[in-house]
Amino acid sequence: MHVPELTSLLELTQDGLAQLLASWGQPRYRADQIWEWLYRKLAADPAGMTNLPKELRERLIVTTRADPLDLIYQQRSSDGQTIKWLFRLPDGLTIETVLMLYDERRTVCISTQAGCSMGCVFCATGQTGLARNLTSGEIVAQVLAAERRMIAPSDRQPKTDDGIPAVGSRSSSVGRRLTNIVVMGMGEPLANYDRTWAALRRISDPDAFGLGARHTTLSTVGLPQGIRKMADEPLQINLAVSLHAPNDELRTQLVPVNHRYPIAEVMAAVKDYIGRTHRRVTFEYALMNGINDTPALARQLAGLLKGVLCHVNLIPLNPIAESPYQPSSPENAAAFQKILEVNRVPATMRMRRGIDIDAGCGQLRRRVSGGG
Ligand code: SAH
Ligand code: SF4
């Protein structure tokens, strides 16, 4: 039997939704009402769109999908402040989304691809290869899912209940909106540029979700064309670049795409970006014991970044199973940070929150699917 494809409502622009409704003989204001249900009232199911006529609701239920994400697993850190979800997409692939509730911030970390083709040696996602790009609707849906859990934590309980109280039930976060979005989940966002940006525009659009672009940060492995293209976007989101090593020999070992886009090309694109946007760029540097954390490498990094409008985010590595790469000791990490600061390169150490729940990118999926 032929099963007709469902139209995914989150793939549509506001005009696209209006066109669909017009083709059903519905007036424009019905499209506006549905748009409001999707992005303001966070409806995951057309059955709850109570101001629509019954026949229209039924048509939506039968022919469309309002939420492409099926929650199949949830993990919460022991302090309750980090919640990680594994979602199944309509074609059966799985992706991760993480909600972090601390430092007065309520941040969701979203994925842009199922897997990743970049193969960074320390990254769980990098070990699996790329299955496919996510659609813009699948990217937006992660933000809506997180917001839904913030506002109504008991809604849509996960199928695998871990027995820990609902999100935020022990904190003051319940009923408050997300404050930040980081595009740092699975995948390389600039390798899925158009869909990622379509999603980010929708998220920041005051007529849709309406979260200010300045509260969004996109992290890239360092694709120069994508970085330059970002400089031309009217939307002012923050850029983070995953550097992890100050010279090509070491960086190519850790981040294989460096072979194609060596540090000089990445830095040229970043400087171009800063020149055009006047925005401070973050460099991410995962500290790995005995690999990239020596004082000599700290000095080399300081030399590379001297005078650049930037900030270094040092993150002790979140080790993946059976990996030779391990986090730096706290002493080495502190010494590394000190050398950067003495050389006037601003650097902060980001704590490994949620370490007890495989909070590193791609780690939950690997564990649930038995991959490591
Ligand atoms: N592909 C993009 C965004 C997703 S990864 C990128 O690489 O920037 C988000 C960040 O997590 C990157 O800085 C990445 O290098 C880092 N990361 C990946 N695996 C990690 C691990 N095991 N421990 C610490 N950071 C990790
Ligand atoms: Fe891909 Fe980023 Fe992981 Fe590298 S660190 S494999 S670019 S997701």
Q: Is the pLDDT of residue 156 over 50?
A: no
Is residue 31 very low, low, confident or very high in pLDDT (cuts 50, 70, 90)?
A: very high
Q: Name the 3-class secondary structure at 85.
A: strand
Q: How far is the CA of 40 from the centre of ligand 1 (A)?
A: 31
What is the three-class DSSP state of 349?
Answer: strand
Percentage above 90 pLDDT, the chain: 79
Tell me what pLDDT residue 42 has: 95
- Distance (angstroms) between ligand 2 centre and the Cα of 242 equals 9
- From the list 120, 123, 310, 361, the catalytic residue is 361
pLDDT of residue 366: 55
pLDDT surpasses 50 at 273? yes
- Ligand 1, atom nearest to 352 Cα: 24
Distances (CA, A) of 152 to 116, 184, 224, 230, 320: 32, 25, 41, 35, 33
Say how many Å lie between the CA of residue 245 and the centre of ligand 2: 15
Question: 103 pLDDT exceeds 60?
Answer: yes
pLDDT at 304 over 50: yes
170-184, 317-331, 357-371: least confidently modelled range: 357-371
Output DSSP code: residue 11.
G
Q: Which of 11, 96, 138, 188 is catalytic?
A: 96
Mean pLDDT, residues 180-200 taken together: 97
Contacts 24+ apart (CB under 8 A), 196-203: 196/112, 196/136, 196/139, 197/233, 197/235, 198/136, 199/112, 199/136, 199/137, 199/139, 199/140, 200/235, 200/237, 201/235, 202/13, 202/39, 202/136, 202/140, 203/140, 203/143
Tell me which residues have their CB closer than 6 angstroms to ligand 1: 120, 122-123, 184, 188, 219-221, 242, 284, 286, 315, 317-318, 320, 360-361
Of ligand 2's listed atoms, the one at least distance from the Cα of 123 is 3
The answer to whether 281 and 310 have CB atoms below 8 angstroms apart is yes
Q: Quick check: helix, strand or coil at residue 220?
A: strand
Q: Residue 177 — very low, low, confident or very high, per pLDDT cuts 50/70/90? A: confident
* Ligand 1 center–CA 202 separation, angstroms: 25
123 has catalytic annotation: no
96 is catalytic: yes
